[in-house]
Amino acid sequence: MSHFMFYAGRAYNYKQQKQQAQEFVNSIGFAFISSEAQMRWLKQAGMNPVGEAVQDGYFQEFGDKFTAPHSAYSYEDLPSDKFGADFGANYFDPNSKQTFSEQIQNYFDKVLKATSPQNAPNYNSLPNEYPDKPTRTNKTIKPVYVIDNP
C-alpha cells in the first residue's frame, strides 16, 4: 500500500503539472517566451503522468539495490507503483462526493478486481518475517502470482 499511495500522489502531481502546462501553452503569453522555453512547456504539456510516476519507481528500485538491497525490486513493488499511478492520474477525483477511501475501494474492487489475500496463488508461501532479500524479484510493472483468466 505504501508504494500504491506514494505513486498515486506522484502521478496526481504530474497530472496537475501537465494541466497547468497545457493551460499556459494555450495562453497568449506562450507566444512571447523563447523557443527553448516553449519546448520545455510543450514537453510538460504532453507528458504521461502515469509513465512519469512509474519511471520514478524504476529509479527508486535501482537506488534500493545500493541503499536497501533487502527490498530492491521485490515482486510487488513496480506493479504497485503502476497501479497507484493509474489511480492517482486516472481515477482519483478530489471533487468527488465519495471519500478518498471509497475511491480507493472502488478502484480495488472494480478496476483491479481485488480479492481476499487467501486467494493469492502464493499465499501459503508468504514468509512469516520480513526477509533479508526479496523472496522474488520483478523488474517490470507486470504482476507476478496472477492467474490470467482466458
Residue-wise pLDDT for 89-118, tens only, equals 999 999 999 999 999 999 999 999 988 888
Residue 136 lies in a domain: no
Q: How far apart are CA 56 and CA 62, in angstroms?
A: 10
**Looking at the predicted structure, is the pLDDT value of residue 122 above 90?**
no
Nearest to 1 by CA among 104, 136, 103, 72: 104
Residue 80 lies in a domain: yes
Residue 134 lies in a domain: no
Give residue 34's domain range.
2-119
Q: pTM of the predicted model, to two decimals?
A: 0.90
Residue 150 lies in a domain: no
Residue 49 lies in a domain: yes
Domain count, the chain: 1
More confident residue, 119 or 107: 107
Which residue reads 510543450 in cell numbers? 42
Residue 145 lies in a domain: no
Task: Give pLDDT, residue 83.
Answer: 98
| Burial environment of residue 89 by CB neighbours within 10 A (0 to 12, 13 to 18, 19 or more) | buried
Residue-wise pLDDT for 68-93, tens only, equals 988 899 999 999 999 999 999 999 99
CB atoms within 10 A of CB 134: 17
Sequence-ordered list of residues with C-beta below 8 angstroms from that of 47, at least 6 positions apart, any chain: 14, 17, 18, 21
Sequence-ordered list of residues with C-beta below 8 angstroms from that of 82, at least 6 positions apart, any chain: 7, 50, 54, 57, 141
- Average pLDDT of 119-128? 83
